[in-house]
């Protein structure tokens, strides 16, 4: 019987366990991932009980974890490494940047490194400056590395399973902490009652969300991960209060870039707002806008992102620093000169 899955966390857990059932070469490594604890955010819960010979708890050394995983991957295994908090991935930067992503090229394509690094990113839980960051922008553009971010409209477990079972190179799989308890979106129902959904056929799909029955959308919002939840709320407020209809493009694959869905939307709207939780300067949104403007130089553009500061512990400071529904609404109103 298929397990009933209602949250992104449950989907990720089921996707991980399904991948381990399908391929005995899948090996899981990380800190405190054995049952009954099952990892800091419980994505690995149940794995060590079902696969005791293939789940390994590790010392507190992210560099060692990735070094071991690189060797396992090159020897024919499919290791999945859990970094407890995304902030700690900096300790494994050398293994990712100079080893995993380069070995296939350095050894004349004689080896593959099918490695998945899973890690939670993001704030809004009061964890403070060293446990609340969104560091994925520092990994974008690394040749040979793919960066994936699940969301609530594309099956997160399917994304993870594809990354584990079908990759030939290293993948950074970025999971926002607040997504874990987010319900899987039911388009046309509940909070999603106003929306229609189109999903492309890419390996790591891009979703296009529009307002049902609307013939003209006025603005394109491009985003990923948990930021979709903010984009949705902002789009609903703008639709009901200002009769501004936004088309939301949510990417699963952040790098390498594939902006086809964004470019298709911009041909209709000519206006683009990017949303990310990482710092504003030199971020994902900046590159999306740069590439979009190279193809359509007459665009109006805005970026919504975190202020370039460490993330504060208190909710009041987090609210000031991080992007929000109201910041998105304000940016779009300013772009359309409604303020």
Q: What is the residue extent of each domain of the chain? A: 8-179, 190-335
Q: Specify the 3-state DSSP secondary structure of 254.
A: strand
CA 85 – CA 148 distance, rounded (Å): 16
Q: Do domains 8-179 and 190-335 have the same CATH topology?
A: yes
pLDDT of residue 313: 92
| Residue 136 contacts residue 111 (beta carbons within 8 Å) | no
pLDDT of residue 3: 62
pLDDT (tens, 9 = 90+) of the chain, 339 residues, equals 356 789 999 999 999 999 999 999 999 999 999 999 999 999 999 999 999 999 999 999 999 999 999 999 999 999 999 999 999 999 999 999 999 999 999 999 999 999 999 999 999 999 999 999 999 999 999 999 999 999 999 999 999 999 999 999 999 999 999 999 999 999 999 999 999 999 999 999 999 999 999 989 999 999 999 999 999 999 999 999 999 999 999 999 999 999 999 999 999 999 999 999 999 999 999 999 999 999 898 999 999 999 999 999 999 999 999 999 999 999 999 999 875
Neighbours of 20 (CB within 10 A): 23
Residue count (the chain): 339
Backbone φ and ψ of 17, nearest 5°:
-70, -35
CA 100 – CA 94 distance, rounded (Å): 9
Q: Tokens standing for 301? A: 């553009």
User: Facing residues of 146 across strands?
Assistant: 171
Architecture of the domain spanning 8-179? 3-Layer(aba) Sandwich (3.40)
CA 188 – CA 192 distance, rounded (Å): 5
Q: Where are the beta strands (DSSP E) in the chain?
A: 26-30, 55-57, 78-82, 116-121, 146-148, 171-176, 195-199, 206-211, 219-224, 246-251, 253-255, 271-279, 300-306
Within 8 A by CB and 6+ apart from 215, the residues are none
pLDDT of residue 338: 72
CA 57 – CA 36 distance, rounded (Å): 12
Q: Tokens standing for 7? A: 């949250």
User: Facing residues of 251 across strands?
Assistant: 206, 224
CATH class of 190-335: alpha beta
Whether omega before 36 lies within 30 degrees of 0, making that bond cis, reads yes
| Residue 120 contacts residue 162 (beta carbons within 8 Å) | no
pLDDT of residue 1: 34
Cα torsion through 222, 322, 7, 256, rounded to 10: 40
pLDDT tens for 83-101 read 999 999 999 999 999 999 9
């Amino acid at each position: 019987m298929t397990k009933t899955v209602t949250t992104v966390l449950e989907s990720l857990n089921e996707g991980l366990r399904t991948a381990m059932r399908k391929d005995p070469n899948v090996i899981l490594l990380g800190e405190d991932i054995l049952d009954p604890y099952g990892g800091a955010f419980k994505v690995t819960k149940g794995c060590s009980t079902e696969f005791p010979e293939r789940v390994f708890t590790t010392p507190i050394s992210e560099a060692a974890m990735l070094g071991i995983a690189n060797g396992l991957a090159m020897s024919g295994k499919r290791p999945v490494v859990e970094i407890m908090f995304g902030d700690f991935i900096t300790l494994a930067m050398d293994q990712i940047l100079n080893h995993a992503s380069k070995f296939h090229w350095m050894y004349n394509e004689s080896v593959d490194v099918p490695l998945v690094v899973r890690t939670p990113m993001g704030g809004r839980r009061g964890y403070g400056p060293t446990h609340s960051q969104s560091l994925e922008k520092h990994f974008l553009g690394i040749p040979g590395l793919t960066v994936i971010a699940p969301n609530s409209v594309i099956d997160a477990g399917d994304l993870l399973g594809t990354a584990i079972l079908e990759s030939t190179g290293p993948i950074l799989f970025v999971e926002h902490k607040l997504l874990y308890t987010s319900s899987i979106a039911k388009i046309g129902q509940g909070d999603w009652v106003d929306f229609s959904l189109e999903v492309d056929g890419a390996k790591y799909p891009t979703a296009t969300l529009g307002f049902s029955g609307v013939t003209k959308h006025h603005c394109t919002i491009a985003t990923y991960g948990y930021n979709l939840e903010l984009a949705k709320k902002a789009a609903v407020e703008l639709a009901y209060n200002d009769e501004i209809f936004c088309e939301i493009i949510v990417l699963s694959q952040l790098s390498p870039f594939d902006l086809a869905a964004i470019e298709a939307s911009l041909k209709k709207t000519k206006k683009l707002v990017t949303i990310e939780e990482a710092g504003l300067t030199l971020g994902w949104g900046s590159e999306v806008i740069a590439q979009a403007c190279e193809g359509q130089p007459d665009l109006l553009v805005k970026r919504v992102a975190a202020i370039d500061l460490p993330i504060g512990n208190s909710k009041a400071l987090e609210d000031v620093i991080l992007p929000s529904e109201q910041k998105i609404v304000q940016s779009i109103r300013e772009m359309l000169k409604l303020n």
